[in-house]
Amino acid sequence: MLRQILVRLSQQPQLRDFAAHNKLARGMAERFVAGETLEKAIAVVRDVNARTMSATLDHLGENVTSKQEAIEATNAACSMLAALTSAGVDCNASLKLTQLGLDLGDELARENLRRILDQAAESDTFIRIDMESSEYVDRTLDIFYRLFETYQNVGVVLQACLYRSAQDLERLIVAKARVRLVKGAYLEPASAAFQQKVDVDANFVKLTEMLLADAHYPAIATHDPAMIAAAKRFAAGHQIAASSFEFQMLYGIRRDLQTSLVAEGYRMRIYIPYGSHWYPYLMRRMAERPANVMFVLGSIAREVTARGT
Ligand code: FDA
């Protein structure tokens, strides 16, 4: 119930401005977001690299409503790629198609992505298309397949919560595409997605095994120790080298687990978001873990008590 409320709140653009000026929300965002500027983000990438982990940078933004915003987001992605190249860091990029104008038309998003892929190809940088809510999956995959004919440096994400993902994965495996597997961060109807954690987890394990057995450098993106243990078990049981896949986690979450997996010899990539449009991202992170909300409510209570009001 709390998760549903928080995910719904993440979709309220009016709250974005309120959050941007709210001290508590900004403080909370600092835990999950590298900062508002590219310079701060690159500094965090360097820290992550120093911990012998790779990174993927996400210039935050989604659901733009004008062509101008879509072009600005594309320009920002190109500037980010140039900065990554000149910094010489171990980092690729993640982006969302609604940030590149998908709500305004497939062609706009596709041509903006093509511009980014052209630039990324020059420095051999990989671009990951994040997956958004289920209503975007068909169009996201269509754009991916169209561009994958020309560009090898692009991959997609599948969500274990969706019934369709096993079928989507079979097709991606045949195409030899690079896939990141996640549980899914959006509120989905029972007609499209498993509603119980136990079913999402079972599907995550099934898709992980398909990916590890057949796919091309897959990314298992989760903080769930049970999912990680299942991936490790399957890899060990099928002589799959630790260098042929990677685990991925979000910046600010389970740093202890990130470190211990690297110490065991696994590859780890940290997803690092930055920029000023952090509100929907922050709300999805809050929705994933009620304790985060309790932390914020606790801070408010302490502030109110301290003020004696
Ligand atoms: P689960 O939610 O079961 O959490 C397992 C444990 O992890 C929790 O018990 C807690 O300890 C810790 N944890 C999880 N979330 C936390 C949080 N917010 N704060 C503190 N602790 C937390 N989704 C999507 O729909 N499209 C996408 O493109 C992506 N991309 C993506 C990239 C990467 C690198 C990651 C790691 C995740 C995504 N996601 C995503 C988000 C994903 O769908 C999912 O919502 C989160 O990863 C949380 O699910 P877990 O697999 O961690 O399991």
pTM of this structure:
0.94
Q: What angle do CA 128, 129, 135 make, to 5 degrees?
A: 160
Measured distance CA(147)–CA(231) in Å, rounded:
30
Going by pLDDT thresholds of 50, 70 and 90, the confidence category of residue 298 is: low
Asked whether the beta carbons of 226 and 202 are under 8 A apart, the reply is no
pLDDT at 72 (0 to 100): 97
Has 130 been annotated as catalytic? yes
Q: Which of 58, 130, 168, 201 is catalytic?
A: 130
CA nearest 127: which of 108, 109, 148? 148
Using the predicted structure, report yes or no on whether residue 50 has a pLDDT greater than 80: yes
Measured between alpha carbons, how far is 290 from 4 in angstroms, rounded to an integer? 11
What residues line ligand 1, using a CB cutoff of 6 Å? 130-131, 157, 159, 182-186, 221-224, 248-250, 253-254, 271, 285, 288-289, 292
Mean pLDDT of the chain: 92
Taking the CB of residue 22, how many other CB atoms lie within 10 A of it? 14
Q: Has residue 148 got a pLDDT over 60?
A: yes
Which residue has the least CA distance to atom 51 on ligand 1? 222
> Do the beta carbons of residue 28 and residue 292 sit within 8 Å?
yes
- Asked if 40 contacts 34 with a C-beta cutoff of 8 angstroms, the reply is yes
Query: Is the confidence at residue 161, as pLDDT, over 70?
Result: yes
CA–CA separation, 23 and 19 (whole Å): 8
Q: Is 235 helix (H, G, I), strand (E, B) or coil?
A: helix
Q: What sign does the CA torsion over 188, 134, 196, 229 have?
A: negative
- Exposure string of 41-74, with b = 16+ CB inside 10 Å and e = fewer, is bbebbeebbeeebbbbbbbbbbbbeeeebbbebb
Rounded-to-integer distance, Cα 287 and Cα 149, Å: 37
**What mean pLDDT is predicted for residues 286-292?**
80
Expressed in angstroms and rounded, the spacing between residue 254 Cα and the centre of ligand 1 is 10
Mean pLDDT for the stretch of residues 180-194: 96
Percent of all residues in the chain with a pLDDT value above 90, rounded to a whole number: 78
Q: Which atom of ligand 1 is nearest to the CA of 286?
A: 18
Q: Which pLDDT score, from 0 to 100, does residue 309 have?
A: 45
Question: CA nearest 73: which of 59, 56, 84, 91?
Answer: 59
Phi and psi at 93, nearest 5°, equal -130, 150
Decide if 201 is catalytic: no
Nearest 5°: the CA angle 97, 101, 107 is 90
Q: Which residue has the higher pLDDT, 165 or 293?
A: 165
Q: Give buried/exposed letters for 133-149 (b at 16+ CB in 10 A, else e).
A: bbebbebbbebbeebbe
pLDDT in tens, 199-257: 999 999 999 999 999 879 999 999 999 999 999 999 999 999 999 999 999 999 999 99
User: Ligand 1 centroid to 270 CA: how many Å?
Assistant: 12
Q: What percent of the chain has pLDDT over 70?
A: 92
- Ligand 1 midpoint to CA 288 (Å): 7
- The pLDDT of residue 299 is 55
Q: What per-residue confidence (pLDDT) applies to 287?
A: 85
CB 101 within 8 A of CB 109: yes
Pocket test for ligand 1, best of 289, 294, 295 (most atoms within 8 A of CB): 289
What does the pLDDT read at residue 301?
Answer: 56
Q: Alpha-carbon distance 161 to 54, whole Å?
A: 26
Q: Is 195 exposed, middle or buried (0-12, 13-18, 19+ CB in 10 A)?
A: exposed
Distance CA 26, CA 278 (A): 9
* pLDDT score of 296: 62
